[in-house]
Amino acid sequence: MDKRYGAWAFGLTAWLAMLISPLAAKADDGTIVVAVPAKAGSVDGRQENSDQFMWQQFITATTPSSVKGKVEFETWASDLDTFAADPKWPAADAPKRLHGSMLENIKNPHLGAIDVPCATPGNAGVGGFPSTGCIAEETRRNRPQFDYIVQNKLYSRAGLKQAFQDPAFTVAMPLSSLAVKVDWVPVATVSQWIPYETVERVRQDYYTTTVNSVEYALVSMHLSSRQNPNWVWATFEHYLTPGRCDFIGCSDTFGAAKAVVAPQRNTVNSQYGYCDKTAALVNMMNARQVAPVWRNYCLKSSEVDYAAADGTPYVLGNSVIEGITGNGTVAASSCIACHAYASFGRDGSPESSVTAMLPFNPIGKPVPGVLAQSRLYDFMWGLLFAK
């Protein structure tokens, strides 16, 4: 049997097992609930909940850096810096390098392209995105995480093969590790996507940058912190993103004046309005001199566990990262569940049984057996760039 078909069949079987396992719950009206939106939870060693904690990480990432025109996360090491033949921490003024979505490349290998600075997404229609538009991506890691990966030679397949052979070694990033994934869209495309946003308005309303003479606007951001063993996850969207709270709603118990926004049931890709910030968050931003433009970004929710107390899986998806550049399933995505499969086999690359899971958007706890022949990479899919 063809190995690709076998891996696909394994993934489908595992996905079906995930759905029929005792992960679903029955609502009071008899409706079968297969997932519920993620919500804030506890953070190890901290008194604040995960919403407040991840706003603190957001502020750390968006604080002005020592380089004019760059915020802090833009000076961190990208995946292209980290998973290089000879990884080096980038110079503070190093030019930004963008690429296509790795998530789309894994889920739809015939569509996704990562070796281009800006790729046409496969699911533009899901978010009402211009069919001729493109989305660029980058993932950045702070210095503690970069140093750990490099010092343990976990940036190459040769190093991963060596790690696999050491039964005493476990990949465990430092607690201070912080990673950010952002999606950028050309400013001209944003003005087409959101018609009442002229190019000049986009420059005012979005954080922007210029790469190879193309001006980009930041439209979405994932943040992950190693503070918990399973990491702490959060996703942010610009308030103007069409359908920002569709399907799973938005929940921010710390930074939003209106903590819970329910999804609209009668329409999709409409506007949810500005996410007014609490005085506590504004004060935190001002204390770190975070530019006012960052107040235009809204926390959709944070996530610290696979499932609710009754076993129903949590879901958390970004309208752009999962919805448009992924495979259109915001309501069936989970940061923690997807990254739980980040792993490598004996040859230093992920096993086919593992990558076969990703197109099916795993939710809930990892399916038993899928990771049996793998070593975990501590929830970080950056290893897909290892050569």
Domain boundaries defined on the chain: 43-385
User: Under 8 Å CB-to-CB from 368, ≥6 apart: which residues?
Assistant: none
Q: How many residues does the chain have?
A: 387
Tell me, what's the pLDDT at 122?
82
Q: Residue 180 in contact with residue 223, Cβ under 8 Å?
A: yes
Quick one: pLDDT at residue 16? 37
Smallest CA-to-CA distance from 330 within 340, 316, 341, 344 is with 316
Instruction: Determine if residue 212 is left, alpha or beta; phi over 0 gives left, psi from -120 to 50 gives alpha, anything else beta.
Output: left
Count CB atoms within 10 A of the CB of residue 289: 9
Measured CA to CA, the distance from residue 9 to residue 20 in angstroms comes to 17
**166 vs 171: CA distance, rounded Å:** 11
Alpha carbon 146 to chain centroid, angstroms: 18
Take residue 225 and report the two structure tokens written for it.
């912190």
Residue 56: CB atoms within 10 A of its CB come to: 18
Question: What is the per-residue pLDDT for 303?
Answer: 99
Strands 260-261 and 232-238, bridge-based pairing: unpaired
Is the separation of the CB atoms in 366 and 340 below 8 Å?
yes
CA distance 28 to 36: 15
Neighbours of 300 (CB within 10 A): 27
What pLDDT is stored for residue 231 in this prediction?
99
CA of residue 294 relative to chain centroid, distance: 18
Which residues of the chain, if any, have pLDDT below 70? Answer: 1-33, 104-115, 328
What pLDDT does 113 receive? 54
The answer to whether 141 and 72 are in contact (CB under 8 A) is: no
- Of 287, 188, 185, the C-alpha closest to 241 is 185
pLDDT per position as a tens digit, 67-95: 999 999 999 999 999 999 999 999 988 99
- In this structure, the dihedral spanned by the alpha carbons of residues 68, 71, 73 and 77, taken in order and rounded to 10 degrees, is -10
Span 246-266, pLDDT tens digits:
999 999 999 999 999 999 999
- Residue 224: its H or E element: strand 214-225
Two tokens, residue 185 = 């869209």
Q: Residue ranges of the alpha helices (H) in 194-310?
A: 199-205, 279-287
pLDDT of residue 109: 55
